[in-house]
């Protein structure tokens, strides 16, 4: 996992709106960058809905919220439509940002080992440096914790 104080790796990925988005486009704003395993699954939906619930407060703080998974653009479009998600979702099918942020790791489920995304959240300052990094976050509480942290700055 990337450390607090390190420069956030830049990337270029396509959004659900089929726009090429780079992290550097948002210099001058704080960014909440969260990585999640899969659209339309229970934990990921819970996390997305909880981010939706705090989204207006994040916007008031001039924070950009970006979710990243390895799902396709079409999958993201359906996920956004199903839950009316107001924030950016990026498709990282080639694991560019996922590997750059060191969230692609070995996981175990029912005795089987496989590679997958570790649910993680990074808060990046206006100059592109990581000021908060959390791994194995709880999808139910992570969005509120992120908002609370940002409100204390």
pLDDT tens digit sequence for 44-79: 999 999 999 999 999 999 999 999 999 999 999 999
Q: How many whole angstroms separate alpha carbon 110 and alpha carbon 122?
A: 29
Domain residues of the chain, as ranges? 12-151
pLDDT at 136 over 90: yes
Other residues' Cβ atoms within 10 Å of the Cβ of residue 88 = 21
Question: Model pTM?
Answer: 0.97
From the list 21, 23, 44, 117, the catalytic residue is: 44
Residue that is written with structure tokens 């969005």 in the block? 143
The predicted structure's pLDDT at residue 152:
95
Calpha distance 131→11 (Å, rounded): 18
pLDDT tens for residues 14-48? 999 999 999 999 999 999 999 999 999 999 999 99
The overall average pLDDT reported for the chain is 97
* 116 is an active site residue: no
Domain at 12-151, CATH homologous superfamily: Glutaredoxin (3.40.30.10)
Residue 1 has pLDDT above 90, yes or no: no
């Amino acid at each position: 996992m990337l450390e607090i104080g390190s420069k956030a790796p830049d990337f270029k990925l396509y959004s659900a709106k089929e726009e090429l988005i780079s992290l550097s486009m948002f210099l001058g704003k704080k960014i909440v960058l969260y990585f999640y395993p899969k659209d339309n699954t229970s934990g990921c939906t819970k996390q997305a809905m909880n981010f939706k619930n705090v989204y207006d407060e994040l916007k008031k703080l001039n924070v950009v919220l970006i979710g990243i998974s390895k799902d396709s653009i079409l999958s993201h479009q359906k996920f956004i439509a199903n839950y009316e998600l107001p924030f950016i979702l990026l498709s990282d099918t080639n694991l560019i940002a996922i590997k750059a942020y060191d969230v692609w790791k070995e996981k175990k489920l029912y005795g089987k080992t496989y590679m997958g995304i570790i649910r993680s959240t990074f808060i990046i300052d206006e100059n592109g440096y990581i000021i908060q990094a959390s791994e194995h976050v709880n999808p139910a509480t992570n969005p509120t914790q992120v908002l609370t942290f940002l409100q204390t700055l």
